[in-house]
């Protein structure tokens, strides 16, 4: 199988859905322009689309899930600022080299949604609101933005900036929320010269003992140490069609088989799906997405993300910080338990 064939086939599973959605948009446009009532035909197509999505998304392979996580229309951090996160004030720079746009940091708040019932509103119950520090990978939407953000692959200064803002949050007792969405840290020569591996390791060490609550959610790609550098957390969750892995499937295939076309096989072996990660105890919870993926209903996805985030904030804020630190240590300490024997090391489930 050639590399090109692998990449073409990776998106075939969504083509029938996209064709139905295009047809629905076309009929709605014709109806609006001509005034002809096509609602019955549109509703039939919508039902077919819903059935097709349910069929396709109920049996996704790990490689297909990777393709969904990478979808260019998938909501990223800027889509959630203003919907989930309010009054965002961006904080720049690492105080050493520069301001990496692949990592965005800032102060903001998350407020409980406005009650819909008249009875609840009339009681005068105040909505819960939490001030926090937001740190996230940023990929960008347009080609210009993606180039500026290095396609979501941070340089060392990005991770240094993140750690600086985490220390700031710790000083003022603000919970930290991180949104993970990166193919991995940038592996270029310049990045290595400026201490890429060192700052990732430092972030892991410092986050493990930060005396403030940390919540992390993987919203798209979770590639290697580039993801882990901002997701050592008290609560680590993942969206239904995201992934978290020690290496990209392509990178794994290139190392093991020297053949990038074997990426689907590598994705299967890496156990990178949310279901695998939950079973292995890596993530704490899987956050559901709208049928067909987060990119098909970004508003609904934002509301769902906000609901889960408010739940997590209430949980961590009500827990003593010493207890949080103890749980955080034990959580990561028990990931990967081995028993030594004459035949070699064997991983056991704990």
Q: pTM here? A: 0.82
- Give every CB contact of residue 20 below 8 A, 6+ residues apart in sequence: 45, 48, 49, 52
Mean pLDDT of the 69-84 span: 92
Residue pair 313/130 in contact by the 8 Å Cβ criterion: yes
Lowest average pLDDT, out of 59-73, 174-188, 263-277, 327-341, goes to 327-341
Residue pair 122/188 in contact by the 8 Å Cβ criterion: no
Confidence label for 338 from pLDDT (cuts 50, 70 and 90): low
Mean pLDDT of the 289-294 span: 88
Give me the pLDDT at residue 2, please.
40
Q: What is the mean pLDDT of the chain?
A: 85
Confidence label for 124 from pLDDT (cuts 50, 70 and 90): low
Mean pLDDT of the 121-135 span: 77
Give me the pLDDT at residue 122, please.
47
Checking if the pLDDT of 119 tops 50, the result is no
Q: Which candidate, 192, 185, 194, 124, places its Cα nearest to that of 153?
A: 185
Give me the pLDDT at residue 187, please.
86
Q: Which candidate, 54, 74, 66, places its Cα nearest to that of 9?
A: 66
Give me the pLDDT at residue 342, please.
66
Confidence label for 38 from pLDDT (cuts 50, 70 and 90): confident
What 3-state class would DSSP assign to 289? coil
Give me the pLDDT at residue 125, please.
63
Checking if the pLDDT of 248 tops 70, the result is yes
Give me the pLDDT at residue 346, please.
53
Q: Identify the DSSP state of 211.
A: S
Checking if the pLDDT of 48 tops 80, the result is no
Give me the pLDDT at residue 324, please.
93
Checking if the pLDDT of 10 tops 90, the result is no
Lowest average pLDDT, out of 48-62, 105-119, 168-182, 332-346, goes to 332-346
Q: Which candidate, 109, 320, 129, places its Cα nearest to that of 234?
A: 320
Give me the pLDDT at residue 223, please.
87
Checking if the pLDDT of 113 tops 90, the result is no
Lowest average pLDDT, out of 23-32, 78-87, 137-146, 252-261, goes to 23-32
Give me the pLDDT at residue 4, please.
41
Residues 177-223 have pLDDT tens digits of 999 999 989 888 998 989 899 999 999 999 999 999 999 999 999 98
Confidence label for 350 from pLDDT (cuts 50, 70 and 90): very low
What are the angstrom distances between the C-alpha of 80 and each of 66, 134, 233, 336, 345? 21, 11, 20, 33, 44
Q: Which of residues 247 and 51 earns the better pLDDT score?
A: 247
Checking if the pLDDT of 246 tops 50, the result is yes
What residue spans of 58-140 are helical by DSSP H?
A: 62-69, 77-80, 118-122
Give me the pLDDT at residue 39, please.
74
**Angle (deg, nearest 10), helices 263-270 and 62-69:** 100
Q: Which of residues 342 and 178 earns the better pLDDT score?
A: 178
34 burial (CB, 10 Å; 0-12 / 13-18 / 19+) is exposed
Fold of 66-112+126-348: 2-enoyl-CoA Hydratase; Chain A, domain 1 (3.90.226)
What are the angstrom distances between the C-alpha of 81 and each of 78, 183, 251, 321? 5, 21, 32, 27
- Give every CB contact of residue 102 below 8 A, 6+ residues apart in sequence: 137, 138, 139, 149, 150, 151, 152, 153, 154, 155, 158, 182, 186
Residue pair 243/66 in contact by the 8 Å Cβ criterion: yes
Q: What ranges do the domains of the chain cover?
A: 14-59, 66-112+126-348
Give me the pLDDT at residue 311, please.
94
């Amino acid at each position: 199988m050639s590399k090109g064939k692998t990449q073409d086939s990776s998106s075939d599973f969504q083509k029938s859905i996209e064709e139905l959605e295009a047809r629905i948009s076309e009929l709605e446009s014709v109806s609006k322009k001509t005034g002809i009532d096509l609602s019955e035909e549109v509703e039939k197509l919508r039902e077919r689309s819903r059935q097709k999505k349910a069929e396709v998304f109920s049996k996704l392979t790990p490689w297909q899930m990777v393709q969904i996580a990478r979808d260019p229309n998938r909501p990223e951090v800027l889509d959630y600022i203003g919907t989930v996160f309010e009054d965002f004030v961006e904080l720049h720079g690492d105080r050493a080299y520069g301001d990496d746009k692949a990592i965005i940091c800032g102060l903001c708040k998350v407020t409980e949604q406005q009650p819909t019932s008249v009875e609840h509103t009339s009681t005068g119950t105040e909505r819960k609101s939490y001030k926090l520090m937001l740190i996230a990978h940023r990929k960008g939407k347009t080609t210009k933005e993606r180039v500026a953000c290095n396609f979501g692959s941070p340089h060392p200064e990005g991770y240094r900036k993140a750690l600086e803002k985490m220390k700031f949050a710790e000083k003022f007792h603000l919970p930290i929320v991180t949104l993970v969405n990166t193919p991995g840290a940038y592996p270029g020569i310049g990045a290595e010269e400026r201490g890429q591996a060192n700052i990732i390791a430092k972030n892991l060490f410092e986050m493990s003992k930060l005396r403030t609550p940390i919540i992390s959610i993987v919203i798209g790609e979770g590639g290697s140490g580039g993801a882990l550098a901002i997701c050592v957390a008290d609560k680590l969750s993942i969206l239904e069609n995201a992934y978290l892995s020690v290496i990209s499937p392509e990178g794994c295939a290139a190392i093991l088989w020297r053949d990038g076309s074997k990426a689907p096989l590598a994705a299967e072996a890496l156990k990178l799906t949310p279901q695998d990660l939950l079973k292995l105890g890596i993530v704490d919870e899987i956050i559901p997405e709208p049928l067909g993926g987060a990119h098909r209903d970004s508003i609904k996805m934002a509301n769902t993300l906000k609901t889960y985030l408010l739940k997590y904030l209430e949980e961590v804020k009500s827990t003593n910080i010493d207890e949080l630190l103890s749980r955080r240590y034990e959580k990561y300490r028990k990931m990967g338990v081995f028993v030594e024997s004459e035949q070699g090391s064997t991983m056991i489930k704990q």
